[in-house]
A and B are shown apart, each in its own frame.
Chain A
């Protein structure tokens, strides 16, 4: 579902990604971890069509980038630490705006169900700028799921979420993979990421240095690998 081959990205002379080979199967949940500056967000932005690779091949949902970016975006959902919302619109207006941009019918019931799901039905007519950080992040979850994407990219999605919000996101992620959605998530929270993922990948200085199935090792073993490869205590 997601495939990168020899993916390289440089900013000026500075290499950020150095030949990343990554294959993620349909319905798989992969956590991408690594220290700051490892290139996690850059990798996600290239897969999300927000940036172009300097070299290498990227395929998402059977479409190659950058030539078929529009088809990729149609099947892609993104939940990032920035909620990507408009503070001067209400929660419902934000979802309606994005629904129109994704070519969905004006279906108030669908938006209502999503708002109900993320616990914001009672605040649907309130301006988003009056929401707390956690509430904005919940609305961002609804925005990411609006068009029922086949691939979900999560970039530090737990930022600002309270425990109930984090639990909601865990359940959304598990439910999405249960219906065949492929998930690639970056996180600094090793324990949480490892517990949620089916496969954990460590990226250091733009290269994948470790990849293992989560059911083949304990969290403590993974933490040891992380420390060994990054030099940082988790």
Chain B
């Protein structure tokens, strides 16, 4: 499939700020099943900073915008050719040991209810099957409901609420997988939303989880859509949780109040 991405993040300040610094994870991962045909990230009046590929294989690019400035747009435009890999991450060069992804973070910390979910796969030898089951359990336990949770909602809170969006599904799956002893990580990327998904209000800026399956490697699971990532997905990068895997982390110097507008459109090109 050929997917086009049009992703604009607009920062507006009521008083000019003295400058902005950001760290981007906005390049599609270099792996089998994703071929970049064209891709460009621009930042209004931005100075490109250090760029490198990190230990997890993500392309990181620093940016700074000298002030005073009251409006900055981060624009991502590109086209990627994707093929379905049944969720398996292949051809992805990385060095980070999977065991690192057993560490929990404040938003993925386990609790009694999450531990109970994890316990249903205790003693399971088939890791792939266990991962599928956990993903299925999370899909059932948390009903896709936009607006019910916030960016700071934890896995534990989302499970108790029984509602959430892709970030909550992913955090909950990470918590139960790690609790069950499976290395798991948060993945951020884009999704082509069609039909039912569009009607439900699914967004094209998406997140899912990857679980380490010995012998197979990292395998993606999308509990929000009850499936594994396929050719509708574009993978950007990973981390221990949403914050660690965020496509954009940034901060402004100044006292201005920030207003944020994000628009993301992913479309399939007719062939």
A and B associate: no
Query: Could you list which residues of chain B lie within 8 angstroms of chain A, going by C-beta atoms?
Result: none
Query: Could you list which residues of chain A lie within 8 angstroms of chain B, going by C-beta atoms?
Result: none
